[in-house]
Structure 1
């Protein structure tokens, strides 16, 4: 009984979570609507079983024996990190009643179908009661977890440990200061041509091209696959089976392409975790009860946004791959050159849909959601008033009117599954992506030279060495400091946006 027994016990937790992930993948890609009710119970059973095993007497005995066995080892050692993370996770879950976890899991699975139908019919009233119940459960979760300043802090802990509402307010203020002048200047500038992006592109051709580009940057389809879904996602069942999805609009090709590149970035994080960490706490989020190897949702998002934006939306990418795009869509792009395509897929103008937002205005969607979530959680915004508050914020931030609930408050899947507190991860991921990319290319000029020649291996190898392989061994800022020499810093991101969009729009 010792460290080996602890690894075996936590491995069984990982197995249960991966089984739940498989059911979740199926529910969001293949499952008929009639399966929703029983699927919610299946997922709840697995989540509670994983939590109960984690907090069992068997696990505690194994942990105590393992702690004694590894006592005296360097605190940065794998063994020390694993025992510390198991201890932290047990303490976290013992603060949350089992029945609360079961109710939340069941509601999240059942509510997904309610949300999907409400979104289809653009009717928030159909979803309001379910969302109200989900907000209330999250309030209960926050009280059980505990917090010092704001209940939102407790909910963000599951996704981005250490992040607080106060810290986000400061970070968002700096981003607005750095980005709003650029947004306003672009609003007055001539827009690049983009009509060719809205032609009729065959769905099958889009899926084939999207997958081929994902494979180009390094997504391993021997350990993964691409499928269609309503809302794109990546999900892993250990590093050896990491699946991605995208969505397709026949009259707007970039949606499927960049959705696939984005999710491939997530997948490559999981596929490149150290194989030795498979089924261990360094590839299992024991606090969030997710079978993932990324250290935080923001860190995970850094990989998806880096490959989507810094690589996939770069000028070099389209200089290198424009001929392949023309071949994928015969006759549809013959009148477009690489520079025009590059400018079109980086066209910046306010839009209603977060996942379709351009790189510059995207974070305003995130800020809006974080602000509304925090208000719902602390009770200063009633769920019934959410559409009105949403529409007003979109008008304030982006200057556009929301025509219906499907293009407004119902567009995201997160609230239906209970993920309140996760939206901050998208902006944190954007910041991390710029910080990592800036440091990697500055440290090794060969990386940028390779990208100019469509060689993605040097960048992928750098990210594997400095981010992916470590799994959950290091905390987010610790990982950043090891990789770049400093914790989370928004300045490289602001500089990246300023340089890129000033060039595209010929700003002084």
Structure 2
């Protein structure tokens, strides 16, 4: 039985239009995935033109007058006779109405310009990163920031232009709300970080800073992917400078990881993190997967899934009690005579560090705060692009007490700004907070979860997440989903309880 009211011709037409838009979006995403994984350097300019063209075609399709009229008619019908429509009909109309409203605010030329500059910016970032020179990326970033400012002003906002960009990734999110969450978290971290740094320093034995064979690491990461439940019949993993996930449809989900021979845990946790994203994409219900409802709910919810698997599972003692014998067998030379307790303690050392994706789960939020402060200042015109490097270095010194030795390890480490993803970073921290709420909830419902993880029964958390989160796609908003699953809005309480319990503080 269909979840949609196919007897309604307007719903049928909307489903068809929605499916076509999703296919166009997936085609654009596939070209972007290829650019980050396999595109020859000399193909970059042609790829920028291709993406510019396709983004324009998508915009024309997404802003058709016919679509606007159809949505208006359906909204009226739902308001007058809601009983004639399923919750999926209503959710589809809600989500497509929001997308239509946002798309029609932006002129086609602006959409195309941003697509082109983001593609060019990616190549400029790769080059600058390789050369360890922010100045090589600054001109591209300047263009992207100017375009994103234009996007923000075109959308409109109440307090800050940054609000309009946050709303692209998390509906209704504002800078004030982000800071309301960050400021108390920051103050707590100021106390916790030095306390836990001192407490865990003794566990850093340097075991995981030896050199591990790159091919063996790759093979083991593929093994871990399958172990935790990522379906390689419906997905794949490749290598990229910066790990990411691209969900084209439920039968084609692309992950990437990076191989760092002197930091095997970075490779494994990156793989697990992206698998969390990927299993979310694979878990969307086939009933509406080809429609707009087949996109994931929000970036906060998306990041909650990756952080759940990376931290709640991948950094847990139970996980390593299961995995370590296999890890040790794969790398006998490096791990000879080492026990699981030593490995688990070392990978959970709390230590201020340079690289966000390698940060421990306590200092991680300071990395996000730094990026949020910088990108919001760029959009508000309070910071010039030429001063990003110095602002970055100053904030790392102030918030984490460390000196940044290079641009590659500093303001060039993340891919996001090169692709115009300004407003994305706060969703990482908010997603981390939600992941702790989810973990607390599943433990209450399944007290045997730690034992299941210890035995390698990863289908237990995966099936729970499939049921509670994944299958719903965009049927619920993130607020509705948080309330439905945990009984609360997203907040820091469960995260702080988790940290206190884990580190016995």
| Separation of aligned partners in 2, 1:273 and 1:59 | 25
Within the candidate set 54, 62, 77, 1:54 is matched to: 62
Alignment of 1:74-223 (within 5 A): 77-189=87-199, 190-223=201-234
Match of 1:259 in 2: 270
Q: What are the within-5 Å matches in structure 2 for residues 369-448 of structure 1?
A: 369-448=371-450
Contact 1:246-1:260 within 8 A present in 2 as well: yes
Match in the other structure for 1:290: none
- The one of 222, 239, 245 equivalent to 2:250 is 239
Task: Tell me, in whole angstroms, the C-alpha distance in 2 between the residues paired with 1:253 and 1:188.
Answer: 24
Which consecutive aligned stretches of 4+ in structure 1 deviate over 6 angstroms post-superposition? none
2:33–2:246 contact (8 Å) kept in structure 1: yes
Q: Deviations over 1:248-280 (max 9, x none)?
A: 112221121111000000000000001111221
Shift of 1:500: 1.5
Which residue of structure 2 aligns with residue 286 of structure 1? none
Q: How many residues align?
A: 494
Q: Whole-Å Cα distance in 2 between the matches of residues 133 and 24 of structure 1?
A: 19
Instruction: Within 5 Å, give how 1:229-308 maps onto structure 2.
Output: 229-283=240-294, 293-308=295-310
CA RMSD of aligned residues (A): 1.5
Per the TM alignment, residue 368 of structure 1 is displaced from its structure 2 partner at its CA by 0.5
- Tell me, yes or no, if the aligned pair for 2:212 and 2:331 is still in contact at 8 Å: yes
Query: 1:29-48 residue pairs with structure 2 within 5 A?
Result: 29-48=37-56
Displacement after TM superposition at 1:446 (Å) = 3.2
Q: What is residue 489 of structure 1 aligned with on the other side?
A: 491
CA contact (8 A) 1:182 1:498 kept: no
Q: Do the aligned partners of 1:10 and 1:54 also contact (CA within 8 Å) in 2? A: no
Normalised to the residue count of structure 1, the TM-score between the two structures is: 0.95
Spell out, residue by residue over 1:115-162, the C-alpha distance to the aligned partner (whole angstroms, 9 max, x if none): 111011111111111111111111100000010011100000011111
Unaligned runs of 5+ in 1: 284-292
Write the distance in 1 (CA, Å) between the matches of 2:400 and 2:153.
34
The corresponding residue for 2:474 is 472
Q: 1: CA distance between counterparts of 2:389 and 2:449?
A: 45
Q: Is the 8 A contact 1:175 1:494 kept in 2?
A: no
Mapped contact 1:6–1:66 kept (Cα < 8 A)? no
Residues 142 and 151 of structure 1 are in contact (CA less than 8 Å); yes or no, is this contact kept in structure 2?
yes
- Measure how far apart 1:69 and its partner are: 6.1
Q: Please, what TM-score do these two structures have when normalized by structure 2?
A: 0.95
Structure 2 counterpart SS, 1:158: helix
Of 92-101 and 61-70, more deviation after overlay is shown by 61-70
Aligned equivalent of 1:289: none
Distance 1:216 1:199 in 2: 25
How big is the shift at 1:482? 0.2
**What is the CA distance between 1:179 and its match in structure 2?**
2.4
Counterpart Cα distance in 1 of 2:262 and 2:329: 18
